[in-house]
Amino acid sequence: MTLKAGIFGYPITHSISPAMHRAAFDHAGIDAVYEAWDTPPNALARGVAKLRGDKYLGANVTAPHKRAVMEHLDEIDELATRIGAVNTIVNDGGRLLGSNTDAAGFIDSLKDEAGLTLSGLDAALIGAGGAARAAAYALAMEGARSLTIANRTLERARTLADEVRRMGLEARAIALDDDGLLERCLEAHLIVNSTSVGMLHGPSEGASPIPPEFIRPGVVVYDMVYNPADTPLLKTARARGAEVVGGLPMLVYQGAASFRRWTGLPASTTAMFEAARQALNNMNNPPKDFDR
């Protein structure tokens, strides 16, 4: 029997997860397909219910369903419950288990790409949405020393800061346009963009969430946006002598963690990186139809 997995999202046409996971299944010699399931909100319950069937390993979940999917699952692990978002579902003999691998993807990508462990460091996190929540929990779990969360909507940053403070992390919230953010960024070892600012085809394409003077030489600047690979923030950071990490490694490592949960096997991150880069390249440079 060919096994199945896939990703729920809406819209989902531009996802590179299918290419990445197919490469991992092929590399591991597993007879499985991975599909992109374009799922409007009113079709989510029906789509998730299908996962209980024998042939389904499970699924990934992306925007806008990471929170909404939780009510359709049988069990949700503690981290996903705290983050308030599920990005991975495992079909365990008809029972659906939800978890969140974004935090692991964030931690593993920083270790592998920048040789950075989060223990004891001071971080500035731009954004307070789902991806930021995963990063903040990762920083708290890994023993970071301090965290400044800056968000356009201050209230969301406050809520998240309160939560991670309860885990022992010295956290504070600040508005994205607050003058105090400059100092916090200059003091930080790590600056993370977890907003969609800079994303190709997004409303803030071509923009950076922080101005150049917020970036000092030697700081690690991490941009969760993975398309384009080289965002305006990363270009500026590199020019100012910062070390930069793009969003693709996080995508690959969260995917590898999902793969491990479905199959019990490690994923080839090398195969996944290669497929993800190729898929991004194809998406951004579609073949031209010379006959027209």
Residues serving a catalytic function are 66
Which one, 5 or 252, has the nearer CB to ligand NAP?
A: 252
List beta partners, residue 253. none
Which one, 129 or 143, has the nearer CB to ligand NAP?
A: 129
d(CA 8, CA 70): 13
Give how far Cα 166 sits from Cα of 81, 134, 141, 143, 249, Å: 15, 16, 11, 13, 29
Q: Sort 35 into a burial class: Cβ within 10 Å, 0-12 / 13-18 / 19+.
A: middle
Of the candidates 54, 8, 7, 5, which has an alpha carbon nearest to the alpha carbon of residue 30? Answer: 5
Among 6, 9, 18, 247, binds ligand NAP (CB under 6 A): 247
Which one, 3 or 257, has the nearer CB to ligand NAP?
A: 257
Q: For residues 158, 164, 167 and 172, what is the CA-based torsion angle, rounded to 10 degrees?
A: -60
Among 8, 37, 214, 226, binds ligand NAP (CB under 6 A): 226
Identify residue 25 by its one-letter amino acid code. Answer: F
Among 7, 73, 86, 128, binds ligand NAP (CB under 6 A): 128
The residue with its CB nearest to ligand NAP is 129
Q: 172 to 211, contacts with ligand NAP by CB under 6 A?
A: 176, 194-197, 199, 204, 209
Residue 131 lies near ligand NAP (rule: CB under 6 A): yes
Residue 250 lies near ligand NAP (rule: CB under 6 A): yes
Note the residues at the interface with ligand NAP (CB under 6 A).
Answer: 63, 102, 105, 127-132, 151-153, 156, 176, 194-197, 199, 204, 209, 224-226, 247, 250-251, 254
